[in-house]
Structure 1
Amino acid sequence: MLNATPESAAERVYREVKGQILTNEIAGGELISEGDVASRCAVSRTPVREAFLRLEAEGWMRLYPKRGALVIPIGEREARDVVEARTLLEGHAVRSVVGDDAVRGSLTARLAANLVAHRAADPADIAEFSRLDAEFHQLIVAAGDNPLLADFFVGLGERHRRMTTASVHRDTGVAARILSDHGELLAAIEAGDAEAFATALGAHLAGVHDIRSGERS
């Protein structure tokens, strides 16, 4: 129950609904109503309306007066753009660290710890599984020591998480593939092989997110 001021209630509704979108509890294409969300969160419609407007401004939903809010599905173009951006950012980061033994060693230690935690996580807990997946890739970009690129990558993190949860929902075998692929990516970084990393990353992202080769639509 959200016993709070209208401002904090709106923030909490925003975080709850957005979290459900990112973890695919509210799927793309689903129409949700202010009334249903207000009832579930035990608040009036005013903070729900404020939260919906914020989510619409961020591109997560489209509002239809007197009908509700449509959660915008992940489009093929969006998926391709996110994968392309991630490929560029992660590849750049790895190329910048492979020649520095100390930085590379520190990164591989953090990635190994993440992978241990990821393997121990229950794939059925999609929120935690997708969080650890996003963290693995964020650690790589952060190691590149370019704050502007790292901040941009964090901005992609929510779309990354949503795509991952959608993929895990679509195919139960995706979770095992993610863990296997992360092991391969870690091995490439440990070996200081930026080209092997780039190849493995491309295969990983295309396979996990079902990105097929071809022209953009």
Structure 2
Amino acid sequence: MLAPPAAAEVAYRHVKDDLLAGRLPAGEMLSEGDVAAALGISRTPVREAFLRLAADGWLRLFPRRGALVVPVAPGEAEAVVDARLLLEGSAVRTVVASPEVRAVLVGTLRDLVDRQRGALDAGDLELYAQHDAAFHQQIVAAGGNPVLAEFAATLRERQRRMIALSVGAAGERAPGFVADHEHLVAAIERGDADAFAAALRTHLHDAHLHGGDLHGVDPQRAAGGAAR
């Protein structure tokens, strides 16, 4: 059997991965017993994992009721979108100044677009979301600014959850997001940073601000209705 620290880490990663992948929607109540049974461990390491996830802001704990999946906070999606516009827009203005860097980035992004389309054809929205996140991460990385790249990494988990929620809320819209990515690649290939910025703004607003309810249910209401 796993030692307590190892078991707590397994429980933490298991629940967090489900949260970020959108498999645990906002307002879902989790119980220590259910998670422990699913993983074949005791409740104590699950309790430790819940405490960590609550400290990270992903769960809210209610004594004798369980742990509530915290929805995306009001204003969080808008703040993340604004940060991404600044990061990616700055990176592309640097990229378009170098034909060599631009050509490499365009090739990388086209490959990721193909991978996104393949994931959709296979009906794998989680894999699609991973390729979507990689698409935008590659743009920031190509800018060559390690400080901005590090900041972008801090947004990665928030981005992953937002992508999963926006796709999950309206999976039929995902092909349109892939088409948006094609337009973004075309703007980079042309060296048109202004067109890229305008297309990116529309894309991110459609995907994350108008793509469904990311906030979910009221936490207090959900907790009040949960089984004890």
Place the TM-score, normalised by the shorter chain, in its bin.
over 0.9
SS of match in other structure, 1:209: helix
Q: Which residue of 2 aligns with 1:68?
A: 66
Q: Which residue of 1 aligns with 2:155?
A: 156
SS of match in other structure, 2:171: coil
Q: Which residue of 2 aligns with 1:134?
A: 133
In 1, Cα distance between equivalents of 2:28 and 2:173 = 23
Identical-pair percentage: 50
In 1, Cα distance between equivalents of 2:78 and 2:48 = 31
Q: Which residue of 2 aligns with 1:115?
A: 113
Offset of 1:126 from its aligned partner? 2.5
Paired amino acid for 1:28: A
In 2, Cα distance between equivalents of 1:83 and 1:94 = 16
Q: Is the 8 A contact 1:61 1:70 kept in 2?
A: yes
Paired amino acid for 2:126: A
Larger RCO of the pair (alpha carbons < 8 Å, separation 6+): 2
- The TM-score with structure 2 as length reference comes to 0.88
Offset of 1:86 from its aligned partner? 0.6
Structure 1 stretches of 4+ with a deviation exceeding 4 A read none
In 1, Cα distance between equivalents of 2:202 and 2:87 = 16
Q: Is the 8 A contact 2:78 2:209 kept in 1?
A: no
Q: Which runs of 5 or more residues in structure 1 are unaligned?
A: 213-217
Q: Which runs of 5 or more residues in structure 2 are unaligned?
A: 212-228
- CA change 1:200–1:103 in 2 (3 A) is same
Offset of 1:94 from its aligned partner? 0.5
Indicate whether 1:41 and 2:44 are aligned: no
Offset of 1:211 from its aligned partner? 4.3
Q: Which residue of 1 aligns with 2:172?
A: 173
SS of match in other structure, 2:41: coil
Q: Which residue of 2 aligns with 1:207?
A: 206
- The TM-score with structure 1 as length reference comes to 0.92
List per-residue Cα deviations over 1:135-192 (Å, max 9, x = no partner): 0000000011111211111111111111111111211222111111110111011111
User: 1:86-101 to 2 correspondence within 5 Å?
Assistant: 86-101=84-99
Cα RMSD, aligned residues only? 1.4
Q: Is the 8 A contact 1:141 1:150 kept in 2?
A: yes
Q: Which residue of 1 aligns with 2:218?
A: none
Q: Which residue of 1 aligns with 2:189?
A: 190
SS of match in other structure, 1:69: strand
User: 1:12-27 to 2 correspondence within 5 Å?
Assistant: 12-27=10-25
SS of match in other structure, 2:209: coil
